[in-house]
Structure 1
Amino acid sequence: MSKQKSLSSPRALDHLVLPVGSLAAARARLGSLGFTVASDARHPFGTENACVFFSDGTYLEPLGVASREAFEASVAAGNVFVARDRAFRFRRGEDGLSAIVLGTNDAGADHARFRKAGCSGGDPLEFSRPFRLPDGSSAEASFRLAFAADMRAPDFFLFCCERTSERPAIAPDLLSHANGVTGIARVVLVEDNPSDFQIFLQDVIEQREATAHSFGVDIDTGNSVISVLTPAGLDAWFGLQAGAERGLRGAAVVFRTQKLEAVEALFRRNDIIYEHRHHRILVRPAPGQGVVFAFEE
């Protein structure tokens, strides 16, 4: 095990981008797993989401295509977010985990930092979209995104997300989930040689400390952990076969939950196929859920 000293606070995990073939399918699947799913919301560049918010401030962003015409026009206009989503769907299919999103107070500074480190994913993106408030009224949420990518990993990217408007309050009922999940404990990526991407991830997260182990490397974001596992590690911990491809790929999301017994009872009621492994409950991917979901106390 090797460690490097941390020189600054890391960028915290904000959310995960999960491309889906259909928001309706994602809503049905996530609902059956005990998640409360927010109303559909459209972006101005052809995509739409139906988010799952957690009490620790993180969330899932199932991402669908709302308008193919606007989607393609956005790619042609140089929208990095949409171009990456289109490329992911072309290479990996309609369901999966395409991006890790980190919180920031200054996306402009992050873009400059990524350019200096040689890991910029392209031009920043600014946009606004309507947001429904808990009282039923609507407001506008505005964002600025700074992208980071590694050309060796065409199926995965990261970006820092700055909210340039006041963050709207999340309705309390959206933070309550039948499965008891309170947040994202770990995001799992897979790659034959995790150390090839360690410096890239540390630069983006701005975390100088990493923990190397026999199955890969772990990087702490302060509120979660990003793990890059070898195919052998992915098999040992999650019973998954990674295939022979190189480059970072999304493989699993590990959630914090209050009681595994309650999760198991819920899955039995909803006819969800699951398994126990290493003190976790694992659920294999399905339409609307593109990677393994794992639940741990």
Structure 2
Amino acid sequence: QKGGGLVDFCLQTDDLIADTQRFRKAGVQIDDPQGQSRMRPDGYLLRWVFSLSAGTHRGVAPFLIRDETPREERVPRERTHPNGVTGISSVTVAVDDVPVVRGWYDKALGTPAREIRRDDVDGIGVRVTIGPHAFDFLAPRRPHGPLRDWLTARGPSP
């Protein structure tokens, strides 16, 4: 066991086929869209379609999702968590090769990433902003430190 935490992340889309193609053309290994459904205990059938990033790109590139039933039915808007958290504003992803990852996002999103340095984790990389969320893709600045330890234990991942 390596403890809990995020293993990947999702971007919601209204044009799953086009966005899947955009990430694929940018160099991301991503599967074709596939449908999924589940029945809630109250009998309501939830349906969605998603494309998973694949291979070593999983966890560094997002998986994409388009809900076929209202998202609020699958993920209720009004929810509380015991620790008081209300959402996620940013995600840090440890990577070995920032230029490659930057290329994916610059091409797929059509918006250039911004170079950043994060002394709290001794990393350097880029920040990609998608809506109200920030994604920091960081590589270690030195051979030892928190990002290198993370990459050694878990590989590139959030």
TM-score range, shorter chain: 0.7 to 0.9
Are residue 142 (structure 1) and residue 47 (structure 2) matched?
yes
1:116 corresponds to 2:1: no
Matches within 5 A, 1:247-258: 249-251=156-158
| Aligned partner (choices 64, 67, 82) of residue 178 of structure 1 | 82
Q: Report the counterpart of residue 107 of structure 1 in structure 2.
A: 16
Q: What are the within-5 Å matches in structure 2 for residues 252-271 of structure 1? A: none
Matching residue's letter, 1:178:
P
Q: Does 1:164 align with 2:73?
A: no
Which residue of the other structure, out of 85, 94, 112, is the alignment partner of 1:209?
112
Residue 242 of structure 1 aligns with an amino acid whose one-letter code is R
Runs of at least 5 residues in structure 2 that lack an aligned partner in the other structure: 118-123
Q: What is the distance in 2 between the residues matched to 1:110 and 1:189? A: 21
* Residues 201 and 97 of structure 1: CA distance in aligned 2, closer, same or farther (over 3 Å): farther
Q: 2:137 aligns with which of 212, 218, 228?
A: 228
Residues matched between the structures, number: 147
Query: For the residues of structure 2 that align with 1:119 and 1:179, how far apart are their CA atoms?
Result: 35
CA contact (8 A) 2:50 2:65 kept: yes
Which residue is equivalent to 1:126?
35
Give the partner amino acid of 1:145: F
Normalised TM-score (structure 2)? 0.73
Per-residue CA shift, 1:128-183, capped at 9, x if unaligned? 11135xxxx3311111112345x6646644211000122317273xx122332111
5 Å-filtered alignment, 1:56-95, equals 95=4
**Root-mean-square deviation (CA), in Å?**
3.2
CA 1:176–1:98 in structure 2 vs 1: closer, same or farther (change >3 Å)? closer
1:249 counterpart letter in structure 2: P
Give the letter for the 1:106 counterpart: D
Question: Judging changes above 3 Å, is the alpha-carbon distance between structure 1 residues 148 and 216 closer, same or farther for their aligned structure 2 residues?
Answer: same
Query: Relative to structure 1, is the Cα distance of residues 209 and 114 closer, same or farther in structure 2, using a 3 angstrom cutoff?
Result: closer
What is residue 242 of structure 1 aligned with on the other side? 148
Alpha-carbon displacement from aligned partner over 1:236-278 (angstroms, at most 9, x marks no partner): xxx7252465x97224xxxxxxxxxxxxxxxxxxxxxxxxxxx
Distance 1:192 1:120 in 2: 17
Radius of gyration: which is bigger? 1
- Cα deviation, residue 101, structure 1: 0.6
Q: CA deviation at 1:123?
A: 2.4
Structure 1 unmatched runs, 5+: 1-20, 22-92, 252-297
Task: State the identity as a percent.
Answer: 24
**In 1, are the aligned partners of 2:26 and 2:105 still within 8 Å (CA)?**
no
Say whether the 8 Å CA contact 1:218–1:228 is kept in structure 2: yes
